Structure 1
Amino acid sequence: MQLGTRWGFGAALPAALPAAAEVPVREVEAVRELSFSAAELSHWRWTLTYLEGRPHLELEDGTLLVLNPDGSAASVTEPGAPDPDDDW
C-alpha cells in the first residue's frame, strides 16, 4: 500500500493523480452538490490511497471511487454499499 494525500471537495486534484481522474471525481461531486449545502460540502475531503497500484479515492460521506491505472473510473461505490473489491 502506498499512502496518498487529502484535498478539499471541489479543489484541484493532486498532481499524483492522472488527469483523466478529474471527470469521475467531478461527476461524484456534482451529484453530492444536489443533496448537500455548500456549507456542508466545504468541510468534506477526499482521501487518496494507492492499493495494488490503483488509486482509491474516498469522500468523507463514504463514497469510494476506484480508478484504473490510466485514471478512468473503474467503479463508484455509494456510502453503505458493499465494496466490490472486498473479497471477504
Structure 2
Amino acid sequence: MRLGARWQTGAPPHRSVPEELHAAIAEQEALHPAAQSWTLTWLEGRPRCVLDDVAFVALDVVGRVRTGPVRHDEEVADAARGRDAVGGDAPAADDDDDEWLS
C-alpha cells in the first residue's frame, strides 16, 4: 500500500511523485494559476495527482503521462483504463462488467 500526499502549488512536487509527472504538473499549474494545492493518490499502483479538483496528472497503464480536466463522473474509470480526458486509447467499458456484483 502506498500513501498519498498533499503539497502547495509553486512548491516542488512531493518526493513520492515520479519524475515523469513533474513537467506536466508545472504545465497544469501554469494553466490554473488560481489553484492552491495538489493531492497525490495511488490508483491500482499508479500515481494520480489532482490539482484543486480542476485538473489531473497521472500515469496510465503503460506508463504514459496523461493530463486533463477533472470530470467526477468518469475521470477515475478513464484513468484506470489508460484514457485521458480528451480521447481514448482503450475500448469503451462494457456496461455488463459489474453483473457479478448482483
Q: Which residue of 2 aligns with 1:3?
A: 3
Alignment TM-score, normalising by the size of structure 1? 0.69
Q: Aligned partners of 2:61 and 2:9: how far apart in 1?
A: 22
Other-structure match for 1:26: 26
2:64 & 2:13 partners in 1: Cα distance?
Answer: 14
Identity of aligned residues (%): 30
How big is each residue's C-alpha offset from its partner over 1:17-66, in whole Å with a ceiling of 9 and x where there is no partner? 22222100001111112xx3xxxx4xx11000111111010111331221
What is the aligned length? 79
Of Structure 1 and Structure 2, the greater strand share is in 1
Tell me which stretches of 4 or more aligned residues in structure 1 moved more than 6 Å.
Answer: none
Q: TM-score, normalised by structure 2?
A: 0.61
Q: Give runs of aligned pairs for residues 45-84 of structure 1, distance below 5 A.
A: 45-68=37-60, 73=65, 75-80=66-71, 82-83=74-75, 84=78
Which entry has the higher C-alpha Rg, 1 or 2? 2
RMSD: 2.8
Higher relative contact order (CA 8 A, sep 6+): 1
Q: Distance in 1 between matches of 2:9 and 2:63?
A: 18
